[in-house]
Amino acid sequence: MKKTLLIVEDNLILCDILERWLQKAGYRVLTAIDEPSARRKIKGNNVALVLTDVRLPEGDGISLLEWSISQGLHIPFVVMTEHASIADAVRAVKLGAKDYLPKPVHEELLMELLRGLIGLPVSVPPKKSLMKRLSGAVRETERIACRVAPLNCSVMILGPNGSGKESVAQLIQQYSGRKDKPFVAVNCGCIRGELAASEFFGHVQGAFTDAKKDTAGYFETAKGGTLFLDEIGNMPPEMQTLLLRVLQERVYCPVGSRKELEADVRILSATNEDMERAIREGRFREDLYYRLAEFEIRQPSLSECPEDILPLADFFREQHSEEIRVETSGFTEQAKISMLSHSWPGNVRELDNRIRRAVLLAVSPLLTHKDLNLNATICRTGEKCKKGLMEEAEEKELIRKILEECGGKISRVARMLGMSRPTLYKKMERYGLR
């Protein structure tokens, strides 16, 4: 069952663009041009998220948010604005909006934000390999993944954020007997505890106040295929208990129903957590860990694979040049030196994001050190950050500098650092950053 999003925007051209982006991504989309029509759409539909402009011809996005809260609805709001909007955006977030997006809205930033907020399970066709990785560490990971793929055991993929753990999961799917079935990815760090059962198992009409119709959960969506549980270390405790029971009994019941359904999925999971420590600290169930980690695979960080940095950079440059329709020819020698000396704490994701930005902003076909914007980072290979692991003081300073560089836009900071928004918020709280 597709999740329903509501766009509230009086600019019909922008509304049409947003609608096409969201439909392409697999969402069901409703639109409204003012607050009264938005209220009617919310009342008559099971809306998973509202994407609204601050200023509307009748009413505004903030009063719509306040109305939603007054109705006892727990719908995430994302606010869009172009009107020198920091004050409006801050007010909306303080009232309960999940985030804000400055206009013009960028498709990739929007998609990453939405997926993080509502954990849309996207059934993904197998990815073509990015490129033939050169490093022995990655080749060994891929070899093990292909060997374990035909088995029906659960696999836990370990590795730092942004290193490509989901790509390993998709490789296992491609070489398994479930290759033609759905691959459903779920970010466990974005699931609220009170909604977890409904998200995973679905619900029947009338199961709770907002359950206006039967809705399939992740297990039903992935039936016959693979359920990929990303950031498994952040799964709410109550969901850990429910998941363990399903893995033991291989059946589940949608919320509000007594009818048992077969849990016909293969579970793959991924985390950057030290799971032994999480178990010792009581944050993760030991019995569930052993159910999920019948086999473990480690994905190396980019700093462990320096021979991959320049080939990956060229691959991303060509990919984004074609996407953005900008002609580029390569990198200056200084840019290459900068990339090779950078520690890449955000791993492959950070490299991809920096190359995309460079292609977009470059003034000549040869991308430079300045285009790559590596000046703001302080952690370099050969310094204290051996293999990209930073001391807390260095990590704090890196986050502070990138927050400043990105104007405090949390989604952009998280993308640049190669970590999820919840993880970034936790680190900011730990380090006293605002």
**What is the CATH architecture of 302-431?**
Orthogonal Bundle (1.10)
Residue 25 has pLDDT above 50, yes or no: yes
Structure tokens at 37: 């029509």
**Per-residue pLDDT at 82:** 67
**Per-residue pLDDT at 111:** 81
More confident residue, 189 or 79: 79
**Per-residue pLDDT at 213:** 82
Q: Please name which of 101, 137, 88 lies closest in space to residue 304, comparing C-alpha atoms.
A: 137
> What pTM value is reported for the model?
0.61
Residue 17 has pLDDT above 80, yes or no: yes
What's the topology of domain 122-298?
A: Rossmann fold (3.40.50)
**Per-residue pLDDT at 119:** 64
Q: What are 35-58's pLDDT values in tens digits? A: 999 999 999 899 999 999 988 888
Structure tokens at 365: 């076909």
Transcribe 275-310 into DSSP letters: HHHHHHTTSS-HHHHHHH-SEEEEPPPGGG-GGGHH
Confidence of residue 125 (pLDDT cuts 50, 70, 90): very low
**Per-residue pLDDT at 140:** 93
Distance, CA of 404 to CA of 343 (rounded, Å): 20
Within 205-268, residue ranges assigned H as helices are: 218-221, 237-249
Q: What are 62-95's pLDDT values in tens digits? A: 999 999 999 988 899 999 876 545 566 677 777 8
Q: Where in the chain is the domain with CATH 1.10.8.60?
A: 302-431
Distance, CA of 59 to CA of 67 (rounded, Å): 11
Confidence of residue 226 (pLDDT cuts 50, 70, 90): very high
Looking at domain 4-118, its CATH class is alpha beta
Mean pLDDT, to the nearest integer, of 15-28?
Answer: 85
**Per-residue pLDDT at 426:** 81
Q: Where in the chain is the domain with CATH 3.40.50.300?
A: 122-298
Structure tokens at 146: 């292909």
**Per-residue pLDDT at 149:** 95
**Per-residue pLDDT at 215:** 84
Distance, CA of 348 to CA of 145 (rounded, Å): 19
Within 1-82, residue ranges assigned H as helices are: 12-24, 35-44, 61-70
Q: What's the mean per-residue pLDDT of the chain?
A: 85
More confident residue, 427 or 388: 427
SS3 172: helix
Buried residues in 87-98 as b, exposed as e (16+ CB within 10 A):
ebbeebbeeebb
**Per-residue pLDDT at 392:** 66
Cβ atoms of 122 and 114 within 8 Å: the answer is: no
Q: What are 393-426's pLDDT values in tens digits? A: 666 776 887 787 667 778 777 766 656 777 788 8
In the chain, pLDDT over 90 holds for what percent of residues?
46
End-to-end CA distance of the chain: 38
Q: Please name which of 401, 352, 351, 359 lies closest in space to residue 376, comparing C-alpha atoms.
A: 401
Distance, CA of 171 to CA of 149 (rounded, Å): 8
Give the CA dihedral 157, 161, 167, 170, nearest 10 degrees: 50
Give the CA dihedral 222, 114, 317, 170, nearest 10 degrees: -10
Confidence of residue 379 (pLDDT cuts 50, 70, 90): very low
**Per-residue pLDDT at 394:** 60
178 DSSP assignment: T
Residue 198 has pLDDT above 70, yes or no: yes
**Per-residue pLDDT at 81:** 76
